[in-house]
Amino acid sequence: MINVIICAAGLSNRFGSNKLLEKYGKSVILTESIRPFLEIDEVEKIIVTANEDDIKLYEKIIRKNGFPIEYRIVVCKGGETRSESVYNALDYLTDNANYVLIHDAARPNISVELIKRVANELRENVCVLPVIDVPNTLYTKNLELRDRNEFFQAQTPQGFPRQLLCDAYDDWFEDKTTYTDDFSLVQHYRRYATFKYVQGDPTNVKITFRGDVKKNLSGIGYDIHTLEKSDTEFMPICGLQVPYDKKPKAHSDGDAPLHALMDAILSAIGEPDIGHLFPTYDDKYKDISSLILLDSVMDLVKKRGFVINNVSIAIILEKPRISPYIDEMKDILSAHMGLDKNSIGITSTTNEGSGLVGSGDAIAALATVSIY
């Protein structure tokens, strides 16, 4: 019989939050990485390693998906490193387990076919690694070209005879050297075993960055500021100082299009609006350039691991005519948002003389964003 160890105790540092709980396929990444193993009769038990704080939550999610957690799945405490987690999981192997498959929980596209391809090659003393070719041209960090045909990229599930795996891990426990996968660890401690590879699957990707999960988020923002006479002769519109004898009444510089844009971004990623982030009672933000505020919103976007796809801004004001400045506004946004100019849309219109905007006493703006 086969036992499976699913490594789910990683920290998702490059993702920004616990990626295994991210919505994916029928449920979340964690469950989709387990699901195909349940379809294989020889798999007697699946051992999921988790951080101590996540054990109860993972059990709940697995149970909610109708998986047989009582008799076929167990969630156990992982360790500080991947190898330590696997070492702990070995304690939970069933007596009947002759072979062990070890799989990354961050590979939810795993197919039954690939699992069988690995399992079918397992023999006494034979370890199996699924590999794919390197699609990109390969350089060393000294910019020396390498022949990519000489390299493979390793995937999981990796397969091992039970005793060989346990013996290798017992030896590893003596020095606890860092290994990024199990195949390399076993190669090091059991060099006289037989190591072979099978064709992996290019779609069996490891989810690392938030962009790997194709999830489109959209956000909308709106702002309006009344205008007053100004002696500066410039009015901030979308980050640009446009010549005009009025300026917005505001605690900050009152750049309504940028305020709408920031609210759209914050709305898309589920954060509170700019009124909460940069409160008007805080003197720190008095007369501040809204571009500085945009920079800190962008820092938040990056910190949370999101990437902006495109933004679209509609500016509504009677005067001045801003169409000649739109290209320059796009340059400014492009620089501050790290976004291609083609992904920034700015349109302008009047309010046809109606209301406060129509009489030239206010500027309004709407913005939408798409984020993944």
Q: Which is nearer to Mg ion, 82 or 259 (CB)?
A: 259
**Binding range to Mg ion, per CB under 5 A, among 23-31, 128-136, 138-146, 220-228:** 220-228
Q: Give the angle subtended at the CA of 300 by the CAs of 299 and 303, to the nearest 5°.
A: 85
Residue partners of 195: CB distance under 8 A and separation at least 6? 126, 127, 129, 183, 187
Instruction: Quote the crossing angle between the two packed helices 162-175 and 182-189, to the nearest 10°.
Output: 80
Judged by CB under 5 A, the chain residues 248 through 277 that form the site for Mg ion are 259
Complete DSSP assignment for 76-133: EE--SSHHHHHHHHGGG--TT--EEEEEETT-TT--HHHHHHHHHH-BTTEEEEEEEE
Q: Which is nearer to Mg ion, 104 or 263 (CB)?
A: 263
Q: Is 223 in the site for Mg ion (CB under 5 A)?
A: yes
How far apart, in whole angstroms, are the C-alpha atoms of residue 128 and residue 101? 9
- In the complex, what is the shortest distance from the CB of residue 243 to Mg ion, in angstroms, rounded to a whole number? 21
Q: Is 318 in the site for Mg ion (CB under 5 A)?
A: no
The identity of residue 85, as a single letter, is: S
Cβ-closest position to Mg ion: 259
- In the complex, what is the shortest distance from the CB of residue 262 to Mg ion, in angstroms, rounded to a whole number? 9
- In the complex, what is the shortest distance from the CB of residue 144 to Mg ion, in angstroms, rounded to a whole number? 53
- In the complex, what is the shortest distance from the CB of residue 260 to Mg ion, in angstroms, rounded to a whole number? 8
How far apart, in whole angstroms, are the C-alpha atoms of residue 255 and residue 259? 6
Q: Which is nearer to Mg ion, 182 or 263 (CB)?
A: 263
Query: What is the per-residue burial (b if ≥16 Cβ within 10 Å, else e) of 146-163?
Result: eeeeeeeebbbbbbbbbe
Size of the site for Mg ion (CB under 5 A): 2
- In the complex, what is the shortest distance from the CB of residue 337 to Mg ion, in angstroms, rounded to a whole number? 18
- In the complex, what is the shortest distance from the CB of residue 299 to Mg ion, in angstroms, rounded to a whole number? 20
The closest alpha carbon to 237, from 312, 330, 351, 337, belongs to 330
Q: Which is nearer to Mg ion, 222 or 372 (CB)?
A: 222
Q: Which is nearer to Mg ion, 34 or 366 (CB)?
A: 366
Q: Is 247 in the site for Mg ion (CB under 5 A)?
A: no
How far apart, in whole angstroms, are the C-alpha atoms of residue 12 and residue 50? 12
Q: Which is nearer to Mg ion, 34 or 266 (CB)?
A: 266
**Binding-site ranges for Mg ion (CB under 5 A):** 223, 259
